[in-house]
């Protein structure tokens, strides 16, 4: 969202804020720990969408995903998406196409209603190989999802992208959800540190380890009028548990994902 000068911009700023959406994302273990009553509390705080981890590296498919997604919808979330973290050295994930096929088939078998599948690209200890093979691995998974009719997006940060796939710019056909924990509900930081060949992002994960209704979540923002995602409105202030507990470069991994 562009920033405006002071004179004569109050109305414009109000319009800019109104055409925005803020939501939460959470890991598989957090989702599994939630009670159904937690979801209406989150919605009542003004959050309008949720993105829930569906696959966690070597730990595999989120057995609680169906309940989490159903509870999010029932609470009044306007949109519910799913994200996947997989890697070539995570147990059971050496075949990227097979991993994604299993995940998508599991969701279909459970009649899980979701909008997009976001591919979480970030580092973990011993998870990845060289940049070129890592990019090829992710492409194979993405292509599998697309072939099954799934709408795909990419998640990363400048640091994590560079560490994982180097200077690769071959994923720009998909919308980017990027992480930078600056607490700012805008894209003002994008021009100073773009990556991956994207000319503009779709969503900004601006805070990590936030506490919403006592639940540990990350917070994401996007301008409903400008992003290629049709989301609803609502902006809330940042509530951080500990802004230094995770690096500002972003990332959703909270526990080891290489299950040996």
State residue 224's pLDDT score: 72
State residue 253's pLDDT score: 56
State residue 22's pLDDT score: 95
Site of tokens 């526990």: 255
Is the pLDDT at 11 greater than 60? The verdict is no
With pLDDT > 90 as the criterion, what percentage of the chain qualifies? 77
> Tens digits of per-residue pLDDT, 114-123?
999 999 999 9
**Per the residue annotation, which of 22, 25, 81, 122 is the catalytic one?**
122
Q: Is 118 left (phi over 0), alpha (psi -120 to 50) or beta?
A: beta
Positive or negative, the Cα torsion across 72, 74, 80, 86?
positive
Highest mean pLDDT of the ranges 15-19, 164-168, 246-250: 164-168
pLDDT category of residue 252 using cuts at 50, 70 and 90 = low
Is the pLDDT at 160 greater than 70? The verdict is yes
Mean predicted confidence (pLDDT) in 138-159: 98
> Tens digits of per-residue pLDDT, 184-216?
999 999 999 999 999 999 999 999 999 999 999
Residue 17 φ then ψ, to 5°: -70, -40
CA distance 43 to 47: 5
Is the pLDDT at 244 greater than 50? The verdict is no
Question: Residue 153: in which H helix or E strand, if any?
Answer: strand 152-156
The lowest-confidence range among 16-25, 97-106, 121-130 is: 16-25
Catalytic site includes residue 160: no
**Per the residue annotation, which of 120, 168, 216, 218 is the catalytic one?**
120
Question: Residue 67: in which H helix or E strand, if any?
Answer: helix 65-75
Catalytic site includes residue 22: no
Positive or negative, the Cα torsion across 138, 141, 143, 145?
negative
How much is the pTM?
Answer: 0.84
> Tens digits of per-residue pLDDT, 18-47?
468 999 999 999 999 999 999 999 999 999
In whole numbers, what is the pLDDT of the chain averaged over residues? 84
DSSP-assigned letters across all residues of 194-255:
--TT-SS-SEEEEEEEEEETTEEEEEEEEETTTSSS----B-----BS-TTSS-TT-----S
């Amino acid at each position: 969202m562009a920033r405006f000068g002071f004179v004569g911009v109050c109305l414009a700023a109000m319009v800019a804020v109104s055409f925005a959406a803020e939501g939460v994302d959470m890991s598989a273990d957090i989702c599994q720990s939630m009670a159904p009553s937690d979801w209406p509390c989150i919605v009542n705080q003004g959050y309008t969408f949720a993105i829930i981890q569906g696959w966690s590296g070597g730990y595999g498919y989120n057995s609680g995903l169906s309940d989490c997604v159903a509870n999010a919808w029932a609470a009044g979330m306007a949109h519910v998406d799913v994200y996947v973290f997989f890697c070539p050295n995570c147990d059971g994930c050496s075949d990227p196409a097979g991993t994604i096929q299993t995940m998508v088939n599991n969701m279909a078998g459970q009649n899980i209603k979701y909008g997009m599948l976001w591919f979480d690209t970030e580092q973990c200890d011993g998870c990845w190989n060289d940049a070129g093979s890592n990019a090829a691995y992710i492409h194979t998974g993405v292509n599998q999802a697309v072939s099954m009719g799934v709408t795909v997006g990419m998640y990363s940060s400048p640091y994590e992208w560079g560490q994982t796939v180097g200077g690769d710019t071959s994923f720009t056909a998909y919308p980017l959800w990027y992480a930078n924990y600056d607490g700012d509900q805008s894209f003002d930081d994008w021009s100073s540190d773009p990556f991956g060949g994207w000319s503009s992002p779709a969503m900004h994960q601006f805070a990590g380890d936030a506490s919403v209704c006592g639940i540990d979540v990350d917070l994401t923002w996007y301008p409903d009028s400008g992003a290629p995602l049709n989301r609803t409105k609502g902006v809330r202030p940042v509530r951080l548990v500990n802004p230094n507990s995770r690096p500002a470069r972003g990332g959703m991994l909270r526990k080891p994902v290489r299950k040996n």
